[in-house]
């Protein structure tokens, strides 16, 4: 069975470091036989969650904008790769907007007890790629926490994190073969259906002047 891997890039800038790592991870997934799809939130206009409460009654977001198409792809995917820059020690606003719109999934699961997959849980796994400019290691803590709650609602197992810091100028990551190689390797591993489901995410943290 061919696994379907969806890559979501959330950085607002061109030649973004997290985006370049995401593309490398998708190449890795393809090398393992997966079918891949790349989307960048730069191409999709949708608003933030406005806490209207409609999804608490229906389990669905009532706003008919570009979020709906991305949502369908996220639900259909066997594997997800989410890439974000670190902005003030958090997921960037563009990525957070996508995450917040998934409140409909939280409502579905915790308020309505309506399963996302009525035929039973699926083996879905996700890789997170985050890039920061500073030397601080704690800047990834907030991302880790937010992603944990998001993946719980999305019903996807957190497979691994690739965290890279001291990377500031756009495109600089291509000068760091180790970061690119890790992205490729993790993408391939994510798409390896024979690997057991991980109990906890593997952390690959490139914090030094590599």
Ligand X SMILES: Cc1cc2nc3c(=O)[nH]c(=O)nc-3n(C[C@H](O)[C@H](O)[C@H](O)COP(=O)(O)O)c2cc1C
Triad 80, 41, 176: Cα angle to 5°: 70
Subset of 89-108 contacting ligand X (CB under 6 A): 89
Cα–Cα dist 40/9, whole Å: 5
Q: Write the interaction track for ligand X spanning residues 146-185; mark x where CB under 6 A is met and - where it is not.
A: -------------------x-xx-x---------------
- Please identify which residue in 3, 8, 11, 98 interacts with ligand X, judged by CB under 6 A: 11
- If one asks whether residue 17 binds ligand X (CB under 6 A), the answer comes out as yes
> If 0-12 CB within 10 Å is exposed, 13-18 middle and 19+ buried, where does residue 123 land?
exposed
Contact 145/119 with Cβ under 8 angstroms? Answer: no
**Cβ–Cβ contacts within 10 Å for residue 66, how many?**
15
Residue closer to ligand X (CB basis): 155 or 172: 172
Nearest CA-CA partner of 76 in 23, 159, 155? 155
Window contacting ligand X (CB under 6 A); options: 33-41, 57-65, 82-90, 120-128: 82-90
Q: Which stretch binds ligand X (CB under 6 A): 31-39, 72-80, 81-89, 200-208?
A: 81-89
- Tokens representing 168 are 């500031």
d(CA 5, CA 156): 12
DSSP state of 42: G
Closer residue to ligand X in complex, CB, 11/153: 11
Q: Are 92 and 8 in contact (CB under 8 A)?
A: no
C-beta of 173: minimal distance to ligand X in Å?
Answer: 8
The residue (of 139 and 154) whose beta carbon lies closer to ligand X is 139
Q: Does 40 bind ligand X (CB under 6 A)?
A: no
Q: Which of 131, 154, 156, 190 binds ligand X (CB under 6 A)?
A: 131
Site for ligand X contains 132 (CB under 6 A): yes
The set of residues, in sequence order, having a beta carbon less than 8 Å from that of 9 and lying 6+ positions away, is 16, 18, 19, 22, 38, 39, 40, 41, 42, 83
Examine residue 133 and tell whether it contacts ligand X (CB under 6 A): yes
**Site membership for ligand X, residue 208 (CB under 6 A):** no
Using CB under 6 A as the binding rule, whether residue 134 contacts ligand X is answered as yes
Per CB under 6 A, residues contacting ligand X are 11, 13, 16-19, 85-89, 131-134, 136, 139, 165, 167-168, 170
């Amino acid at each position: 069975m061919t696994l379907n891997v969806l890559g979501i890039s959330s950085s607002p800038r061109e030649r973004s470091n997290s985006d370049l790592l995401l593309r490398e991870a998708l190449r890795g997934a393809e090398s393992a036989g997966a079918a891949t799809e790349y989307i960048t939130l730069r191409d999709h206009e949708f608003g933030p969650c406005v806490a209207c409460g409609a999804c608490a009654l229906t389990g669905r977001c009532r706003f008919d904008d570009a979020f709906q198409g991305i949502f369908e792809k996220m639900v259909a995917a066997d594997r997800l790769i989410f890439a974000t820059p670190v902005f003030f020690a958090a997921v960037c606003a563009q990525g957070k907007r996508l995450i917040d719109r998934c409140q409909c999934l939280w409502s579905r699961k915790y308020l309505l007890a309506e399963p996302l997959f009525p035929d039973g849980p699926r083996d879905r796994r996700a890789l997170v790629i985050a890039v920061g400019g500073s030397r601080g290691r704690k800047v990834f803590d907030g991302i880790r926490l937010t992603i944990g709650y998001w993946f719980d609602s999305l019903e996807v197992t957190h497979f691994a994190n690739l965290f890279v810091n001291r990377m500031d100028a756009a495109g600089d990551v291509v000068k760091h073969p180790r970061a690119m190689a890790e992205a490729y390797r993790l993408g391939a591993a994510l798409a390896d259906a024979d690997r057991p489901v991980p109990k906890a995410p593997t952390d690959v943290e490139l914090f030094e002047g590599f």
